Chain A
Amino acid sequence: MSIFAGAFQDKRLGYLAAVLGIGAVTLLCAAFRAHLNGMTVSLAMLLVVLFVAAGWGSLPAYLAAGLGVLSFGLFFVPPVFAFTVTASRDWVALGAFLVTAFTAGQLSERARRREVALRESEANLNAAQKIAQVGGWHLDISRNRLKWTDEVFRIFDMPRSADLTYEMFFGKVHPEDRESVRRAWTDALHGAPYDIEYRLSADGNLKWVHEIARIRFDPRGRAVEGNGTVQDITERKHAETALQKSAEEIRDLYNRAPLGYHSVDKNGLLVRINDTELEWLGYTREEVIGTMRFADFLTPEGRSRLEEAFPRFTETGELRDLEFELVRKDGSILPVLLSATAVRDDEGNYLMSRSTVYDITGPKRAENEVRRLARFQAVVAELGEHALRHLSLSDVLDGVTSQVARILNVEFCKILELLPNRHALLLKSGVGWKPGYVGRAIVEIGKHSQAGYTLLVDEPVIVENFATEKRFTSVPLLEEHGVVSGVSVVISTKEGPYGILGAHTGHPRTFTANEVHFLQSVANVLGSAIERQRGEAELWRIHRAQRALSKCNEALVRAVSESALLQQICDIVVEEAGYRFCWVARAESDKEQSVRAVAKAGFEAGYLDPLRITWADTERGQGPVGTCIRTGRKVVVRNIATDPRMLPWREEALKRGYASCVAIPLAIDSAVFGALMIYASELETFGEEEVKLLSELASDLAFGIGAVRTKAAHAAAEEEIRALNADLEQRVVQRTAELRDANRKLEQAHEREIEVGFKIQQFLLLDRPPKDVPGLQVAALTVPSQKIDGDFYVFIRHEDQSLDVIVGDVMGKGVPAALLGAATKSQFLKALTDLLDISKGREVPEPGKIVMLAHAGVVNDLINLESFVTLSYIRVHASRRSVQLVDCGHTGLLHLHARTGVCEIVRGNNLPMGVREGEIYEQISVPLEWGDLLLLFSDGITDARNPAGDVFGMDRLQECVLGNRQLEPAALLETLRQTVFAFSESDRLSDDLTAVVIRVQEMQPATAMAEREIQSDPVELCRAREFVRDFCRGLPGRPLDEESVGWLELAVNEAASNIMKHAYHGRTGQPIQIEGMAFPGRVLIRLHHYGDPFHPAKSPLPQLDLSRESGFGLYLIALTTDDVRYYRDDRGRNSIELVKNCK
């Protein structure tokens, strides 16, 4: 094709063809001249003209026409071989030739030009399609012939070929998209628009194309042909996918952020909220968007705060760190911090908020923990006070259970009392239990119940979930109330366990160490209270028996008749001793062996009438009276309600308020003739001591009766009577001795009270020293004196690893002092938590502030009670190597410098707490060195006296500390204790002895050290710099880079220069000692001098107005180092310490 096309384009070939064509026709016609007429020849010539005209255009055609006319004239028109045009016919032929040549030439020229143009435009189209990545196609539908432009071939990645069909195209469509493409095409054939995107499975690369087609229909509605475009949109698709992915990522970030995000419109309605916040709230998106306001999730208090802040927010566009409590759908509370910025439209109108919500449960919890500790402390103190305030035991127990339930936030709290038989526990007091349980429910002991197990192991037992508990099973009491978890502790007394204190809840929960410790503290206070109550009750009853006995003695001496004596005794027992009811039973010797009341006093109300008691060994003879008479032994019923021996009479007895009783045999010369019956309205009475005294009384009574009988029988036997009387007197003397004995017991009871006070001190006033404060070793010592004192100490650890220690002493002694101590301690904890609250836990409040706030809380009480508290409050920070002291009229702080061995007493001059309202408490700051020792102590040490009356004193204290400073703090304190006791030559001190020792440990040893001394002369500055340079460069591993070394050089230069100028005032020849020390992570240079100290305030950037040329020094030091300390060291040198941290 192309060869031909090229040939037709060459005009020269056209002329050649004209000559050859006419020549050939002439020869042929000449050969067959005989058979041809002129017409045929001329037509043949015309054919040549037409051929040339069609192939090469008009000009060669003219040549052919001319040659044709010439040849025709020469050879075929007679005369032959002569060209003569004579006939007009010939002129017409020549004209026809020329016109044919011209017309055909013009036509073919035009056709050719059109073809060229077409070809050019096709090429242009292809190029354009290639650039646009758009191809075109045409489908002859009836013949199923498909035509593609080059670009379609390229897009479909197919070699250009001729015979395309729809099926071939369809084979290139991605299998998954074929169905949709087919459907679109079928629809298009029925008139639907064809505009689709689909994938190609071309050469393994996935390609996306966009195809649009238009179908032409014939008048009958049949599809005739289709024209379409195909565009490669792979890149666009990729971009779209990427965009979609990043949008998804952003959505994902928004939704799954660990923060809550939401937006509210100008009405406060939620327009957007992320999954995290929805999850916190427990709502679904549908429930909140457009229907709920953020305020709907707040507590009423929070709502009003938000309403107050919202208008300001829409105005300023900013809201920062507002604290709220979110109320979740389930009603629980979530503490959060809300910040927001406003989104505005172009005109600046508020559109919506962009709010961030932080869950601050964590920090809150930590803050709450401290606050809870303070509350625990306060509650234990309050309970202790109640217990000592002579409230009845049941009131104390009820107070304990309700307080514990409240403080630990549990539904159930119980106190189980171990019953006398020691096999079961009685639910003595509690909260949360259904009616009818308290006072009745019994829990078996043994290792199958939590309570029993607790008694067995004698330590707190925590159950997080009974469902997974392996050590024991739940008991009916707990099961019936749906208890799931709990903690129980033993209430111990000196006589053994009293019972169990337990806290339970209906859902799984853990109990923190602090909570368990709190519960145990409550149990301990309770144990002490129970002991005390028991002691008091016992004492009271002994007292009562005592009184009865002593009255009895009088009655005996005066007795005239037996019946009068018996009645008198009964009266005494009831009126003097306060028992509820008393009667004397006489054993009759009748057939029924009946018992008859011969005297009675007190509240009887017909009790004795239907008793029908016998002393025979029958059913009704098993009661206390019958048993007593029959056996001649005392019978004690401590609880009529539960004692089976009282069954026949129980109801009547309880009706009359008899709770316990005792039957004491009356015998003359070992012959039992009756019994003395005494009933008390309290449970658990008739202890050993009481019964002993009452037995004495019964024995006296019997003796008296014997005496009366004898008196009656031998009225004349004066001598005998006198003897008897003497005997009686003897008995009275004996009674008096016994009375004295009882008084001694009373005293013992007082001692027990002291013990209670001591326990309070142990539980409430004295913390355990912490063991794991980095860089500090802490030990504490307390030796109680004969009388309880108000000494206390407190340890508080802060998050920045500093440790607060308070050692205090309340004026006065005894339980009141102990309680005041506890109150003061609580005030300190409260002050600390309040201040932490204010700073939102961001910084630890200064000791001085804590003391002032605590003082404000306690000062009025102290003044009213005419008491005061002296104390030392210190804060030790090991890594900063500093200690702050607030000395409130206490003994100060003993500071032993490790390096020099110098002991120093640091004291402030503040008044004790409780002396003056509004006292300003100043704090003192003292630098520490590694190895330094701090001692806080009570004046019990320094005021200890030896028999000669000398006091132990500060000197001996310092001497002792110095001499034993190499010991561990605990060992040092023990040595101190022994020294004080040895000095006082006694095993009891008159004052409490309290001390706390802290050693500042080297956290890390120095890896390198060097020293140099320079003179106070500016020319020596280069030596200082050289020292720094050499020291730093000589350090193994070069921890400081050259830049840091350069800055440290500059800082040391400035420090030394300042010392020369300001400390030595320009005097030369004075020493400046420079010390270099390297620690892991930092290098430290110290400059020591003996000039005036200078403690610069924080130096601002000096004015650069050219007015000053100096003053850059301090500023440079501050800028070029990581830490600077100005202090006086333990050798009395003024020092500057410069620290450079390694990068």
Chain B
Amino acid sequence: MEIPVDKLGGVTVALIAVEELDAGNAGEFKRDMAPILETDTRLVIDFSRLRFIDSSGLGAVLSCLRQLSAKGGDLKLCGMSKQVRATFELVRMHRIFDIFATCEEAVQAFPG
């Protein structure tokens, strides 16, 4: 899966370039996120293209957070559609992720 990456003031912004993240491509997403997670500790994942996420997709995002936290990094999410956001809220995952409306807000939320 192609994951375009952008640098904004010392923060890495990774874009989920597909519209649907489900059991069919969650593995691929995890695999392709791995190098980014290895090199960067300040990461924003941009959800703005995503229209649908299922439990596997949620699991994959959760895995990213776990990996980053393990090495002292930080992950923030942004640009969620209404339905994607609602799915996060359904399993209360909005409580453990920092979710922002836009990339800029997410980037600014990083200290320094």
Contact = CB atoms under 8 A, between A and B. Distances in A.
A1113 B23 CA distance: 11
B99 to A, nearest CB: 15
Given A1109-B63, A1112-B58, A1018 B91 contact: no
B59 A1109 contact: yes
A1020 B22 CA distance: 10
Interface string B27-63: 0000000000000000000000000101110111011
B24 A1018 contact: yes
Nearest to A1107: B66
Interface in B1-41: 20, 22-25
Residue of B23, B91, B92 with most chain A CB atoms under a 10 A cut-off: B23
Contacts of A1106: 62, 65-66, 69, 96
A531 interface: no
A1060 B91 contact: no
Contacts of B58: 1112
Contacts of B56: 1018, 1057, 1110
B1 to A, nearest CB: 13
What is the interface of chain B mostly: helix, strand, loop, or mixed?
helix
Interface string B84-100: 00110011110110000
B23 A1021 contact: yes
Contacts of A1053: 22-23, 54
A46 to B, nearest CB: 95
A211 to B, nearest CB: 65
Contact of A1050 (B23, B60, B87, B95): B87
Contact of A1060 (B23, B54, B62, B96): B23
A1054 B87 CA distance: 12
Contacts of A1018: 22-25, 56
A1050 B21 CA distance: 12
Interface in A1090-1128: 1101-1102, 1104, 1106, 1109-1113, 1115-1116, 1119-1120
A1020 B66 contact: no
A1053 B87 CA distance: 13
Interface residues of B, number: 26
Contact of A1110 (B55, B69, B92): B55
Contact of B91 (A1025, A1043, A1112): A1112
Contacts of A1017: 24
B102 interface: no
A738 B59 CA distance: 98
Contacts of B108: none
A663 B56 CA distance: 106
A1120 B60 CA distance: 21
B58 to A, nearest CB: 6
Contacts of A953: none
A206 interface: no
A1049 B60 CA distance: 20
Contacts of B52: 1025, 1049-1050
Contacts of A1119: 90
A1057 B54 contact: yes
B50 to A, nearest CB: 13
A1005 interface: no
Contacts of B65: 1106
What is the interface of chain A mostly: helix, strand, loop, or mixed?
helix
Contacts of A1049: 52
Nearest to A1109: B59
A1112 B62 CA distance: 12
Contacts of B86: 1043, 1046
Contacts of A1110: 55-56, 59
B111 to A, nearest CB: 22
B59 A1115 contact: no
Nearest to B96: A1104
A1061 B59 CA distance: 15
Nearest to A1022: B20
A1019 B87 CA distance: 20
Contacts of B23: 1018, 1021, 1053, 1057, 1060-1061
Contact of A1019 (B24, B55, B93, B96): B24
A1057 B22 contact: yes
Given A1018-B24, A1022-B22, A1113-B55, A1120 B90 contact: yes
A1020 B24 CA distance: 7
B55 A1116 contact: yes
Nearest to A1116: B55
Interface string A1029-1057: 00000000000000100100110011001
A1112 B56 CA distance: 8
A1025 B63 CA distance: 25
A1116 B59 contact: no
A1106 to B, nearest CB: 5
Contacts of B95: 1104
Nearest to A1104: B96
A1020 to B, nearest CB: 7
Given A1112-B91, A1119-B90, A1120-B90, A1057 B55 contact: yes
B62 A1116 contact: no
Contacts of A1061: 23
Given A1021-B54, A1104-B92, A1112 B66 contact: no
B22 A1109 contact: no
Contacts of A1112: 55, 58-59, 91
Contact of B54 (A1019, A1054, A1101): A1054
Contact of A1021 (B24, B63, B69, B92): B24
Contacts of A1043: 83, 86
A1112 B55 CA distance: 6
Residue of A1019, A1109, A1110, A1119 with most chain B CB atoms under a 10 A cut-off: A1109
Contacts of B59: 1109-1110, 1112
Interface in A872-931: none
A1043 B83 CA distance: 8
A1106 B68 CA distance: 12
Contacts of A1101: 91-92
Contacts of A1050: 52, 54, 87
B34 to A, nearest CB: 14
Contacts of B93: 1104
B20 A1109 contact: no
Contacts of B96: 1104, 1106
Contacts of A1113: 55
A1017 B25 CA distance: 11
A1116 B91 contact: yes
Contacts of B90: 1116, 1119-1120
Residue of B55, B62, B87, B90 with most chain A CB atoms under a 10 A cut-off: B55
A557 to B, nearest CB: 107
Nearest to B91: A1112
A456 B20 CA distance: 82
Nearest to A1106: B66
B74 to A, nearest CB: 14
B102 to A, nearest CB: 23
A820 B96 CA distance: 66
B26 to A, nearest CB: 8
A1107 to B, nearest CB: 8
A94 B52 CA distance: 115
Nearest to B64: A1109
Interface in A1006-1027: 1017-1022, 1025
27 contacts: A1018-B23, A1018-B56, A1019-B24, A1020-B24, A1021-B22, A1021-B23, A1021-B54, A1022-B24, A1025-B20, A1043-B83, A1043-B86, A1046-B83, A1050-B87, A1053-B23, A1057-B54, A1104-B91, A1104-B93, A1109-B60, A1109-B63, A1110-B55, A1111-B55, A1112-B55, A1112-B59, A1113-B55, A1116-B54, A1116-B90, A1119-B90
Given A1019-B24, A1109-B60, 9 more contacts: A1022-B24, A1043-B86, A1054-B55, A1104-B93, A1106-B66, A1106-B96, A1112-B58, A1115-B91, A1116-B91
Top 4 nearest A-B pairs (CB, nearest first) are: A1109-B59, A1112-B55, A1018-B24, A1018-B23
